[in-house]
Structure 1
Amino acid sequence: MSGSFRFTAPTPPKHATGRSAEVYRQLADDFGTDRAATFTVLSASPELLASAWALVRESLLAGPGTRTGREVAALGVSLANRCRFCIDAHTMFLHATGDADLGETIAAGGVPGDPEYARLLAWAKASRAPAAAGRTELPFPADQSPGYVGTALAFHFINRIASALLTESVLPCDLQRLRAVRSAAGRSFRRAVRAELAPGESLVLLPEGERAVPQWAGDSPVGPAYAALRSVALMGAAFLDEDEQARAREMLSAWDGAHPPAYWPELPGRDRPALRLVLLAAIAPYRIEQEDVDAWRTPQHTDHCLVHLVAYGACLAVERAEAALTATTARMHTVRPTAAQEAQ
């Protein structure tokens, strides 16, 4: 996947060294390609790259639950966030799992015929709006929360990175918009998608440090991966002063999850460029323009600085989603029985 990069010039995988080179090795083995733009775009910060990869690997690729179910969750979150890049990518991955019609139905705005997938999709889409997420029944057993909650939170982060820093083109000339191309791409990923991965192998790549592991993750490797990504992403707060940090959290606290209208008077102007970029990254990353980046960037602001600033805004939104989803997880340890259970 060779998506076009906006605002940054990432290091190509073949030139990577150290931690980043190890991430790309795992990407090639476990994800099916070392050229996934959603990760390469973070290469200016090896710590962000490694932490984002670890969370995706341990939840989407190796977490509990089914790969098809976790792909439905990733696709549902991407639809809620209007991340065209990720919608197209995970539709292709559902082709790879053998669930092409399911992926096509969801990507087109339809509802799966399978009621379990329909509930999972609704849960994932509701996760953008905390009030709705808090009312949505868990569509999976509580012991599968690391896989499904981890995947949802991973894609609340990845969607925002992709929408802010990538174009919408997964493939050149938007070829991924053709079903035949999605089918062919799915076949190329089939072996990787259907492989059984050993959990925890990405944790050796994480930056060192003691971090609080979230309760919803239990003793799963998803917990350390999520804690590492949150810790590294929040470092971007250093680009805002204390008043701006407080204002960002205040606006996120009041946000209901809706996509903002074209006229958005609450958004700070370009005279407060760091705060503006953080809020755009959190709420409407697809609306970040070159002028927004230029208003903030100085000769001292490298690509490393920009990806950390965007990651900070993304993480503020992820924290809100986590609070809503995990409140539901803690409250609902019993879920709707499956058809097989009802028949017993």
Structure 2
Amino acid sequence: MNSHLVRAARRGAEAQIAHVSLVRHAAAQGLVARVYDQVERDFGILAPPVILHSPVPELLAAVWTMLRETLVATGKAERAVKEAAAAAVSLGNSCPYCVAAHSTTLHGLVRGRDATAIAAGRLDEVGDPRIRAIAEWGVRFGTPEVPERPFPPEQAPELVGTAFAFHYYNRMVNIFLGESPFPPSAPARAHGAISRVMGRLMAAGSRARHAPGGSLDLLPPAPPSGDLPWTEGNEVIAAAFARTSAVIDRAGERAVPATVRELLTAELAAWDGRAAEPARIDEAVAGLPAPDRPAGRLVLLTALASHRVGPAVIAEFRRDDGADARLLECLAWAAFTTARAAAA
């Protein structure tokens, strides 16, 4: 791939992220550099939803491992089907950034207008019955209306894993990135050209073969978490989620007060997969001890209405500890815990 395009994509990716100071590609060392190299090689671009985690290297490695071993690694499910699932889950979660990014990748893998129909929410217009079925499943994943899995059991670790990963990523993207994968400084007239460049970079990665397990050595082995039965039958994906779960569970213990962890667990037990209204969040947070309410509001909004996490909510949380690491660990725990509930 043209090195000029790669450098331009890096600059565009690094310009999009709000709220935290990421590690730039030129300054990356150690674990961060290893992850960045894998992301560019296997995904095609230095994806902003991944690199926003770079202030916490272990967390960066964990969320990349989750994404690589489900969506990116070559397995039993076709990449086009996995991209359709990613776009549809993102549509259901009202994450326009991820809808645009993954419908663009899908467009490079399948002929016709199926990717455009998914991006527009017109699932009944999707012509390929396999793509339409996976999109109808993905858009309702995590709700009581989710249809039966439209794929054989041996594909479940990849496809349920992809849906899980995007329940996580959609929440983080809604907080840290804008509604469009285009750099904020890019004028509207340039979007077509940028889209073609990004499409070329991502298409190269999506068509290549990527051996399963390539990211596992980024993190030490971890015991299975016990609540992800859909990983059974795929040792690599089971190992990836064990590692990711261990990292994010530790992050939650460090960054999220126990009262808040208990509150989210209780809220998710009765969750119907839909966004919560502000009054519901306010009512739940009011029952917390006063010092824990900023974290409680941030966690519940991330889980149940991530599009409502704005600068004021983040500033309130950072009053006592302004570190990027604590913010990322808190948000990652909330998003991952919610993805667990969606996949249960």
In the TM superposition, what are the counterparts of 1:234-313 in structure 2 within 5 Å? 234-235=249-250, 236-261=252-277, 263-264=279-280, 265-268=282-285, 272-298=293-319, 300-313=321-334
Offset, 1:293: 1.1
Q: Which runs of 5+ in 1 are unaligned?
A: 324-344
The question of 1:132 aligning with 2:148 is answered no
2:83 to 60, 63, 71: 71
Partner Cα distance (1:177, 1:140) in 2 = 39
C-alpha change, 1:139 and 1:175, in structure 2 (3 Å) is farther
2:206 to 177, 181, 193: 193
- Paired residues of 1:164 and 1:310 also in contact (CA < 8 A): no
Partner Cα distance (1:254, 1:174) in 2 = 44
Q: Normalising by structure 1, report the TM-score.
A: 0.86
- Paired residues of 2:44 and 2:202 also in contact (CA < 8 A): yes
Q: 1:20 is matched with which residue?
A: 32
RMSD of aligned residue pairs (Cα, Å): 2.3
241-250 or 64-73: bigger deviation: 241-250
C-alpha change, 1:287 and 1:229, in structure 2 (3 Å) is same
Partner Cα distance (2:89, 2:80) in 1 = 14
In the TM superposition, what are the counterparts of 1:49-68 in structure 2 within 5 Å? 49-62=60-73, 63-68=75-80
Whichever residue aligns with residue 227 of structure 1, its letter is A
Whichever residue aligns with residue 182 of structure 2, its letter is L
- Paired residues of 2:182 and 2:194 also in contact (CA < 8 A): no
The percentage of aligned residue pairs carrying the same residue is 33
C-alpha change, 1:300 and 1:260, in structure 2 (3 Å) is closer
- Paired residues of 1:76 and 1:121 also in contact (CA < 8 A): yes
1:222 to 231, 234, 237: 237
Q: 1:338 is matched with which residue?
A: none
In the TM superposition, what are the counterparts of 1:78-89 in structure 2 within 5 Å? 78-89=90-101
Q: Which runs of 5+ in 2 are unaligned?
A: 1-11
Q: 1:322 is matched with which residue?
A: 343
Q: How many residues align?
A: 319
Q: Normalising by structure 2, report the TM-score.
A: 0.86
268-277 or 46-55: bigger deviation: 268-277
In the TM superposition, what are the counterparts of 1:18-167 in structure 2 within 5 Å? 18-33=30-45, 35-62=46-73, 63-99=75-111, 101-111=113-123, 112-129=126-143, 131-133=144-146, 136-167=147-178
C-alpha change, 1:48 and 1:277, in structure 2 (3 Å) is same
Partner Cα distance (2:158, 2:189) in 1 = 27
Higher relative contact order (CA 8 A, sep 6+): 1
Partner Cα distance (2:85, 2:159) in 1 = 7
